[in-house]
Amino acid sequence: MSVATVWGARPDEVAGRYACDDEAADHPVRLLRAVDVAAPADVAFAWLCQLRLAPYSYDLLDNGGRRSPRTRTVDPADLVPGTTMMQIFALTSVVPGEHLTMRIVDRRALAVFGPVTVTYAVHADGPDRSRYVAVLRIGSPQRGRLVSVGRGLLAWGDLVMMRKQLLTLAALAGREAREEQGAR
């Protein structure tokens, strides 16, 4: 396994089953990314729900130069299958406090990358700590060179973008947890 395939994930996280593994079992490529979150799982999950509004990665590249919000405004209860996420995905399943699973529905993104389904999971990891685990399942390329080129770049490009995304969300969740503790 290369760092482009698995980054930050523990062996048990790599071996685990996620919703995207069932929803996209026919997608042969599986990528994992994971980070520690200095916040309880409920706070970490609430920040994942912010993906409805923005990608939380490199905003200049993937958010039209607009800064991803730094305060939580999305109510997790409002997320249901079909909800648009990060402008190019549709939510396919959600288990509150545990995971969000989504697939690319944007035609331009599908033309470049082919079918992609991703699960963002949150796991408790001790008192007031948790982990983000993101698992991508990438389908077989469609016809055409654009998809083949896009697929070849996806693992490395995703590593760069999702690393930034997960670290940003973890930092925001950690900040909120520290503020809540300070208020007590």
pLDDT at 98: 97
Q: Predicted confidence band at 37 (pLDDT cuts at 50, 70, 90)?
A: very high
Looking up tokens 């970490």, which residue turns up? 44
Lowest mean pLDDT among 22-26, 81-85, 152-156: 152-156
The pLDDT tens digits for 79-119 are: 999 999 999 999 999 999 999 999 999 999 888 778 999 99
Residue 150 has pLDDT above 70, yes or no: no
Residue with tokens 């406090």: 97
What percent of the chain lies above the pLDDT cut of 70? 93
Average pLDDT, the chain: 92
Edge-to-edge strands, sheet with 89-95: 6-7, 29-37, 130-138, 116-124, 99-104, 89-95, 84-85
pLDDT, average across residues 140-154: 60
CA 119/CA 97 separation, integer angstroms:
13
Q: Which among 23, 28, 19 is positioned nearest to 120, based on CA atoms? A: 19
pTM of the model: 0.93
Check pLDDT > 90 for residue 45: yes
Would the pLDDT of 145 be above 80? no
pLDDT (tens digit per residue) in 112-140: 778 999 999 999 999 899 999 999 999 87
